[in-house]
Amino acid sequence: MDGKLDGVETPQPMSSLQSWGLRSSAVGAIAIGPAVTDTKHRGGSYSLKALYAKAALIVLLVVLTSVLGGCVATPSTPSWSSLLVVKGILYTGSQAGRVYALNAASGTEIWRYPPSEKGGVGALYAAPVLLGDTLYIGSSDNHLYALDANTGSQRWVFTSSGHIFADAVIADGVLYFGSGDHKVYALDASTGLKKWEFATADGIWSQPCVVGDRVYVASLDHRLYCLDADSGRKQWEFKAGGAFAGSPAVAGDLVYCGAFDNKVYALDAKDGHVHWEFKTGHWVWASPLVVDDTVYVGSLDKKLYALDAVAGTKRWDFQAQGMIRATPALANGLLYVGTEVGSLHVLDAVNGQQKWVFNTNGAVLSSPVVAEGIVYVTVLGDTIYALDAETGVQRWSVAPSKRK
Amino acid sequence: MTQFWNTVIFQPMLNLLLLLYSWLAHNFGLSIIVFTVLVRVITLPITWQQMRSAKASQDLQPKLLELQKKYKNDREKLAQEQMKLYKEAGVNPYGCLVPMLIQFPIWIGMYQSIINVLPNNPLQLLNLARHIYHQFSGLVPLNASFLGLNLGRSAPILAILVAATMWVQQKMMAAPTADPQQQAMSQSMELMMPLMFGWITWNLASGLGLYFVVSNIVGIIQQYFISGWGSLATVFSRQGLTLKSPSSRTREPQPESSKGDKKRSGRPKDKGDGRKK
């Protein structure tokens, strides 16, 4: 046997793992190789052992890859979808990169883009926007799509160099949107031709706000920019202590915006000077909703705050079940607030008292929409709920992306 | 269990990374390097014990072979004698397993921290919000640029470096074997693991690749002081090159030139493995 033993089973030196030739390596992986210099041979038993060893190694590699994959995996659902309801039609995107038009009364599908025989575009976070009979929606595949709102056929596509996560906004026939390529674009809404672009120092994940001849853009570079709507020239900028991922809102002479330094800012719309600031317990990602003299803003600290729009003082707050990422909706004196644990809280806008709560089957990370006495909510996983806006009774729910 | 994991392992590591980022001029690449070295230094006693235990066990192989020959018909006696040998040599036969199990959660935590701290989309950013300590809120998003690389995106060069450094380390760790089948399996695995990690790095944020590379380099240095160049010396000697090192500590069959070098360099005193000649 040339120095090899046969017929003797021996206790394995070191660990059983090492008997299979496993040793820890620097990266935390397992180094594989023979740990011992002897090998037992006995006719066919070696072949069997070798087979077992190889099988064990393959299993180990699969497990290891799975562990690593699990560690680095992003959440399985790559986007949250947003809603638009206009004239009885509900438009929404899906995480699989498809745009749907549904009958708002029943949830039945009218059209989808791309059609079923084609794959979807990139995951869709943004809410569609409508101008005339054209629907616009940005995608994480870097494209902004203009579709026929009646049929879902494509009219034109504009390509940026980064993911488009945020809603676009239209004013005076110009489409404004931000991109992950750090730029805000102004396009001719009818042709898709670029009018101007403005570069910031980081991605733009929020919807621009257009008021008069000014465009307000919040960027992840910690700055809020005021641009000239015609030329894109910068008028002023304001730097916060954290990133801006939520959209600014303008009311009167003030610009309101939340930041990742946990604060809500009210800035002078003319020059960007701080009028007041209000500190919450976590990032403020949601866009403030300004109604009359009250600012409603949610925070990832799980609270919805009602602030005096002029003084920035707190009127009341409401402790929700989970983090509030999206802007609440307001209709008939009721606030509709979604949370990342799937609850939809309905509050009295005056005092913050909860009227009712509805629990969905997924995180509510985009803004609810109220139309024709129905509140529409979409959750992570693309299920859409239609509830009676007054009572919370469910009218229907659909998951259009799960239909064929 | 998830809550326990996040609170005890993942969140402290993630926020340590952010703390380093805030201290190191908002240079994320530098933060990963310091973070990796720091964790490797903290776990050094465990790693060291593991490496020495492996080395000591390997060094016992000739004596184990003798015992196997001697007691080939008496399993019980063989087991007794082997345990006695381990005891005399001060080697714990399970000495490698426990340290490895202790280190595994740390490695996983490091992977998670590096991946989660560079969100590429809003959902990932929201996930980061769940784990970040409030004092670091303002640091997000991190500046991912480092030496011309975007550490949030994949970088082929780092994938190649990961594969290369891992291969070197595997070679240094590999023990020699006279059995051709086992040798073939060993060689294929020594190639497969670097390729697998290279492929993983190729497909992931290069920040993780940077961690792999730094971690491998630290591991190579540690391994060098435990067992020298190991089988790597053989690879180089086949090419007519000689690696000068404390390679005499390995039991690698060496060509004549290498043996000469060993004699000149002398065998370093090995206190830790408890071998009794």
As a whole number of angstroms, the distance between CA A180 and CA B182 comes to 51
Strand partners, A236: A226
How would you write the pLDDT of chain B (277 residues) with one tens digit per residue? 788 999 999 999 999 999 999 999 999 999 999 999 988 888 888 777 777 777 777 777 778 778 888 888 888 888 888 888 888 877 776 666 666 677 778 778 888 888 899 888 999 999 999 999 989 989 999 988 899 998 888 889 999 999 999 988 888 877 665 556 666 777 777 788 889 889 988 888 888 899 989 989 998 888 888 777 777 777 777 666 666 655 444 444 444 444 444 433 333 334 334 333 3
Q: Count how many Cα atoms sit within 13 Å of the Cα of residue B198 in the half-sphere of its side chain.
A: 17
Torsion angle (degrees, nearest 10) of CA B4, B9, B13, B16 = 70
- The predicted pLDDT at position B46 comes to 79
DSSP codes, A195-218: EEEEE-SS---S--EEETTEEEEE
DSSP codes, chain B: -HHHHIIIIIHHHHHHHHHHHHHTTT-HHHHHHHHHHHHHHHTHHHHHHHHHHHHHHHHTHHHHHHHHHHTTT-HHHHHHHHHHHHHHHT--TTTTHHHHHHHHHHHHHHHHHHHHTS--SHHHHHHHHHH--GGGGGGPSP--EETTEETTS--HHHHHHHHHHHHHHHHHHPPP-S-HHHHHHHHHHHHHHHHHHHHHHHHS-HHHHHHHHHHHHHHHHHHHHHHTTTHHHHHHHHTT----SSGGGS-----HHHHHHHHHH-PPP--TT----
As a whole number of angstroms, the distance between CA A261 and CA A217 comes to 17
As a whole number of angstroms, the distance between CA A92 and CA B66 comes to 75
Closest listed residue to residue A135, CA positions, set A117, A153, A118, A116: A153
Three-state DSSP class for A36? coil
Tell me which chain A residues have a C-beta less than 8 angstroms from the C-beta of B65: 3, 5, 37-38
Q: Do residues A90 and A103 make contact, with C-beta atoms less than 8 angstroms apart?
A: yes
Q: What Å distances lie between residue B28 and A172, B122, B214, CA to CA?
A: 43, 20, 14
Closest listed residue to residue A262, CA positions, set A308, A313, A298, A309: A298
Q: H helices then E strands: how many in chain A?
A: 2, 34
Is A14 close to B95, i.e. CB distance below 8 A? yes
Q: What Å distances lie between residue A339 and A84, A224, A365, A373, CA to CA?
A: 19, 26, 6, 21
Closest listed residue to residue B227, CA positions, set B7, B52, B26, B22: B52
CB-nearest to A75 from B103, B123, B190 is B123
- The predicted pLDDT at position B68 comes to 80
Tell me which chain B residues have a C-beta less than 8 angstroms from the C-beta of A218: none
Tell me which chain B residues have a C-beta less than 8 angstroms from the C-beta of A72: 111-112, 115, 204-205, 208
Q: Under 8 Å CB-to-CB from A68, ≥6 apart: which residues?
A: B111, B200
As a whole number of angstroms, the distance between CA A242 and CA A283 comes to 9
Three-state DSSP class for A47? helix
As a whole number of angstroms, the distance between CA A65 and CA A71 comes to 10
Q: Do residues A121 and A145 make contact, with C-beta atoms less than 8 angstroms apart?
A: yes
Torsion angle (degrees, nearest 10) of CA A226, A227, A229, A231 = 170
- The answer, as to whether pTM is greater than 0.90, is no
Closest listed residue to residue A208, CA positions, set A236, A233, A179, A188: A179
- The predicted pLDDT at position B97 comes to 67
Mutant choice from B101, B111, B179, B217 vs A, greatest count of A C-beta within 10 A: B179
Q: Do residues A40 and B179 make contact, with C-beta atoms less than 8 angstroms apart?
A: no
As a whole number of angstroms, the distance between CA A300 and CA B127 comes to 11
Closest listed residue to residue B250, CA positions, set B234, B274, B238: B234
As a whole number of angstroms, the distance between CA A152 and CA A128 comes to 12
- The predicted pLDDT at position A74 comes to 43
Q: How far away is chain A from the Cα of B11, in angstroms, using its nearest Cα? A: 14
**B276 exposure class (CB count in 10 Å sphere: 0-12, 13-18, 19+):** exposed
Q: Count how many Cα atoms sit within 13 Å of the Cα of residue A145 in the half-sphere of its side chain.
A: 26
CB-nearest to B219 from A26, A32, A203 is A26
As a whole number of angstroms, the distance between CA B179 and CA B157 comes to 36
Q: Do residues A25 and B51 make contact, with C-beta atoms less than 8 angstroms apart?
A: no
- The predicted pLDDT at position B20 comes to 96
What's the length of chain B? Answer: 277
**ipTM for this model:** 0.82
- The predicted pLDDT at position A362 comes to 93
Q: Do residues A348 and A290 make contact, with C-beta atoms less than 8 angstroms apart?
A: no
Q: How far is CA A162 from the centre of its chain?
A: 15
- The predicted pLDDT at position B90 comes to 74
Residue at A317: amino acid letter: D
Is A24 close to B47, i.e. CB distance below 8 A? yes
For chain B, the C-alpha Rg in angstroms (whole number) is: 22
- The predicted pLDDT at position B243 comes to 65
Q: How far is CA B36 from the centre of its chain?
A: 12
Tell me which chain A residues have a C-beta less than 8 angstroms from the C-beta of B202: none
* Residue A58 host element (H or E): helix A45-72
Chain A, 246 to 265: residues with Cβ < 8 Å from chain B are: 260-262
Residue A402, token pair as written in the block: 């799960």
Chain A, 313 to 332: residues with Cβ < 8 Å from chain B are: 323, 325
As a whole number of angstroms, the distance between CA A130 and CA B35 comes to 49
As a whole number of angstroms, the distance between CA A332 and CA A23 comes to 67
How would you write the pLDDT of chain A (404 residues) with one tens digit per residue? 333 333 333 333 333 333 333 444 434 434 333 333 333 444 444 445 555 555 565 566 656 655 555 544 444 447 899 999 999 999 999 999 999 999 999 999 999 999 887 888 999 999 999 999 999 999 999 999 999 999 999 999 999 999 999 999 999 999 999 999 999 999 999 999 999 999 999 999 999 999 999 999 999 999 999 999 999 999 999 999 999 999 999 999 999 999 999 999 999 999 999 999 999 999 999 999 999 999 999 999 999 999 999 999 999 999 999 999 999 999 999 999 999 999 999 999 999 999 999 999 999 999 999 999 999 999 998 899 999 999 999 999 999 888 77
Q: Looking at the complex, does the CB of residue A37 fall below 8 Å from at least one CB of chain B?
A: yes
Strand partners, A279: A263
CB-nearest to B78 from A8, A75, A241 is A8
Q: How far is CA A242 from the centre of its chain?
A: 19
Q: Looking at the complex, does the CB of residue A161 fall below 8 Å from at least one CB of chain B?
A: no
Three-state DSSP class for A346? strand
Q: What Å distances lie between residue B90 and A251, B45, B50, B51, CA to CA?
A: 77, 17, 13, 14
**B76 exposure class (CB count in 10 Å sphere: 0-12, 13-18, 19+):** exposed
CB count in 10 Å sphere of residue A2: 6
